[in-house]
Amino acid sequence: MASHRRPKQPSRARVTVVTATAAAAVALTSQAAQADPKPSKSEVKAKVDKLSHEAGDANEQYYGAKEKQQKLEKEVGALQDKVARGQQEINTLRNGLGSLAAAQYRSGGIDPSVQLFLASDPDSFLDQASALDQLTAKQTETLEKIQEKQRVLAQQRKEAQDKLGDLADVRKTLGEKKKKLQGKLADAQRLLNTLTVAEREEMREKDQRASRAAGDRVDLGNEVPASARGAAALQAASTQQGKPYRSGGTGPSSFDCSGLTQWAYAQAGVNISRVTYTQVNDGPRIGRSALKPGDLVFFNNTSHVGLYAGNNTVLHAPYPGTVVRYESMNTMGSFQFGVRIG
């Protein structure tokens, strides 16, 4: 017989739980939407500027590692050349030693008294016997040379091997720095992409107008440069205002911070090194109160460099997305020290 029982209705408690769960899901969805609103244009700019500063620091670290790599590659190449030349010298000495030994063996194959008896010219034989004695002394000298060259060669090979180990470490560091630099730039670009094309263009034009206005109204005072070379470097850099920052840029169409300072001093006839971490050692260090126009000025743990222009102002290539411009030292972060180029 078929059952005619009525289906069991859900309890009031179960309905309440389901309803509460649905309400919670709606609330969480609403909160998530509210927690991740589209950033405003000013917020995007602030975040992009921060990332660009960090990218500028990463850029100097990357090119610092690259410069170290290039230096090590030259050192390794020079050592390997020395090793190759040393081995060739040893091979030449060994070949000569083998010829001497063969000559002695051939000469020693007949008793000297028999050789004297058979000699058609005894005086000639005696001259040859004397030459054999000289060959023995020369052979000893050759052996000593080989031993000494082998010691030097072993030392050079070890030095080259150590340098190759250092080079491998630097290449690994280089890859990490490059990845960090690219990551910062990519993050900044993703933020910029949240803006419309018109908003991005407006932001770019606003930055350019601000840079031009800063250059037009800059008051450098009347401070006297410490040297004619410093004055010439500053003058050269001033002609590059408005040129864009580019990672690895060394001029004349674009610059990074240390690329600008290196280029400027090259125009003054002075060769300085490539990145901030080596430019810090290109001259004596000086404090803020001793700065003169043309001095190098370092900021933010020496990750950034510019040229002191006078009246608490720096001429520099700030970071990606900006141009070469004058800027107050008060807005540039932590001042480290200045370096005076002779």
Say how far apart CA 238 and CA 231 lie, in whole Å: 11
| 308-322 tens-digit pLDDT | 999 999 999 999 889
DSSP string for 36-102: SPPPPHHHHHHHHHHHHHHHHHHHHHHHHHHHHHHHHHHHHHHHHHHHHHHHHHHHHHHHHHHHHHH
DSSP string for 144-202: HHHHHHHHHHHHHHHHHHHHHHHHHHHHHHHHHHHHHHHHHHHHHHHHHTTS-HHHHHH
Q: Where is mean pLDDT largest: 41-50, 102-111, 277-286? A: 277-286
Segment 191-197 shows an average pLDDT of 87
**0.75 cut: is pTM over it?**
no
| 4 catalytic per annotation | no
Instruction: Confirm if 247 and 213 have CB atoms less than 8 A apart.
Output: no
| 17 catalytic per annotation | no
| Residue 139 vs residue 49, higher pLDDT | 49
136: confidence class by pLDDT, cuts 50, 70, 90? low
- The active-site residue, picked from 257, 260, 305, 341, is 257
- Give yes or no for residue 305 having a pLDDT over 90: yes
pLDDT, position 80: 92
pLDDT, position 23: 47
- The active-site residue, picked from 53, 274, 304, 340, is 304
- Give yes or no for residue 211 having a pLDDT over 50: yes
- The active-site residue, picked from 53, 68, 177, 316, is 316
Whole-number average pLDDT of the chain: 81
pLDDT, position 130: 55
Segment 15-41 shows an average pLDDT of 52
100: confidence class by pLDDT, cuts 50, 70, 90? low
| 61 catalytic per annotation | no
- Give yes or no for residue 275 having a pLDDT over 90: yes
- Give yes or no for residue 97 having a pLDDT over 70: no
Task: Please tell me the CATH code under which domain 41-192 is placed.
Answer: 1.10.287
pLDDT, position 17: 43
- Give yes or no for residue 288 having a pLDDT over 90: yes
Domain ranges of the chain: 41-192, 223-339
Say if domain 223-339 classifies as CATH 3.90.1720.10: yes
| Residue 122 vs residue 79, higher pLDDT | 79
